[in-house]
Structure 1
Amino acid sequence: MREAVGSGAGKLAQLAETHKAAVPVPPSPRPTTQPPIQPIKLVGLNQSQTTNLLGPPMRERDANPGQIWEYRTQACTLQVHFFFNMGAREFQALHYEAAANPASFSAADQCLAQVHDQARKR
């Protein structure tokens, strides 16, 4: 009788293992957040380096004592502010600002990344 119980327990264990293998694993949920943006160094670049990084600006304007270059994508407008560095004897990017074109982007770094990606595709 002991063997019968043991055999029954063994069969029960086999059935349990078979049942486990047959149960489908649900797919992993898709992430709802965007992947992290790789930082792009813009501040401190001169105008030639900025052009190499982002391409030519869509618009340039004087804003004494510096200059502002403007880049646009479908989602945002990026303004790079250059000021003359007396030691280096050239204009260098001091800071940048971004504005969302109908609220698709809110962070300046996201806009900078998009302008950079667009320039690399050219």
Structure 2
Amino acid sequence: MQRNLFFLVFAILFGCTYPDEGIRTDWTSLSLPGKALELIDDKESEWFPFSKEGTSSATIGTKNGPVAAPIFYWRITGNTLQISVFPDAEIFEELRNPAIKGNIISATRKSGVRARYTLSKL
């Protein structure tokens, strides 16, 4: 009983929201150009297609609500995917510590929350 409680507290404190996230990976091995990440969420909508030129014609907003279609820039620094408003400027979103299971990518967002994304080819 105490051991299970320890693991539950550990998971809550360190953001392990999804118990079976798959295999830890790195962003480079996922070959993002020509692919897209789509957030799996009931309320938020995020879709990031990745071009080989380092841009992303994203769609962000709320499901069944307003959306925007900004052009972002993306890069991989270490094992962190950074999506920014301008090259080498303000970071819109950061995704760290990716894990993959099938076509589902789990990663830690800039906010510290663990999120899941569907990875697909364009």
If the length of structure 1 is used for normalisation, what is the TM-score? 0.29
* Higher normalized strand content (fraction of residues): 2
Structure ranking higher on relative contact order (CA contacts 8 Å, 6+ apart): 2
* Higher normalized helix content (fraction of residues): 1
